[in-house]
Amino acid sequence: MPPDTATPHEPSRRRLPPAERMPQILEAALEEFAARGFAGARMAEVARRAGIAKGLIYHYFPSKTALFEAVVRDGTRSDFEAAERQLSQHSGSYRALLAALLDLGYQAVCEDARDRVLFRLIIAEAEHVPELAGFYRDEMLARSVGIAQRLLEAGVAAGEFRPEVAAPGYAEVVLAPVVMLSVWRIILGNADAPEAAAMRAAHRDLLLAALLPPAG
């Protein structure tokens, strides 16, 4: 591993109130945990990234594990709010809404989002930190499946989609390709992962063909 060149904070040697210091540390810790995983992360490196001394971390967090859990808890800032807002404020065809939400999803995946960083952490450490799995289940999977589910149900109710597609399992299948692209980008990097644009177009085409009633 290269001697990480991540930009450290300006060397603020000034005394800061906890409300300002904690986010600095959490941000630095997120970067470090994401870059090295839990076991590979070094407290000294977290301190360097935050621009503070090693010892100061222990004023705010009693241990590496506690810091890690705080990082995860802090990661709750959701990108789902935009989608949920679109869903509830919607007026127009559900075909159009489906397309709009798909665009939103692929766009989120393509942005250099901190979310992917958290996502990788979750995949890597979920087995050892049960809280991570719970967090993903409740804050990420449930919400995205919920959005897809409500979209499908509303479309069925409006007569735009086939009635079967509101059954269990459909929502997961509908959103899986977006999430999977995110995983592929985690594994392969943005360059080597499948093309986002091609997948988005294919995804939209397939969904529209699959959801609409045969009669059109």
Residues near DNA, by CB under 7 A: 11, 13-18, 21, 41-44, 52-56, 58-59, 62-65
Partner whose binding site includes residue 21, from DNA, a copy of itself, none (CB under 5 to 8 Å by kind): DNA
Instruction: Please tell me whether residue 16 binds a copy of itself under the rule CB under 8 A.
Output: no
Angle separating helix axes 64-74 and 114-125, nearest 10 degrees: 130
Partner whose binding site includes residue 85, from a copy of itself, DNA, none (CB under 5 to 8 Å by kind): none
Read off the tokens for 48: 């360097």
Specify the residue for token string 């621009």: 51
Choice from 93, 163, 187, 190 touching a copy of itself (CB under 8 A): 187
Partner whose binding site includes residue 111, from DNA, a copy of itself, none (CB under 5 to 8 Å by kind): none
The answer to whether the CB of 181 falls within 8 A of the CB of 194 is yes
Q: Which stretch binds a copy of itself (CB under 8 A): 9-17, 86-94, 104-112, 178-186?
A: 178-186
Partner whose binding site includes residue 202, from DNA, a copy of itself, none (CB under 5 to 8 Å by kind): a copy of itself
Of 87 and 211, CB closest to a copy of itself:
211
- Output the DSSP codes for 32-99: HHHHHHHHH--HHHHHHHHTS-HHHHHHH-SSHHHHHHHHHHHTT--SHHHHHHHHHH--S-HHHHHH
Angle separating helix axes 64-74 and 18-40, nearest 10 degrees: 110
Instruction: Please tell me whether residue 1 binds a copy of itself under the rule CB under 8 A.
Output: yes
Site string for a copy of itself, 39-58 (x = CB under 8 A): xx------------------
d(CA 183, CA 120): 8
Torsion of CA 78, 84, 86, 88, to 10 degrees: -150
- Residues in contact with a copy of itself, counted by CB under 8 A, come to a total of 60
Which of 86, 206, 87, 95 lies closest to 159, judged by CA? 95
Q: Which stretch binds a copy of itself (CB under 8 A): 48-56, 66-74, 84-92, 201-209?
A: 201-209
Of 46 and 140, CB closest to DNA:
46
DSSP state at residue 11: -
Site residues (CB under 8 A) for a copy of itself?
1, 35-40, 120, 122-128, 132-133, 136-137, 141, 145, 162, 164-165, 167-170, 172-174, 176-177, 179-181, 183-184, 186-189, 192, 194-195, 197-203, 205-207, 209-211, 214, 216
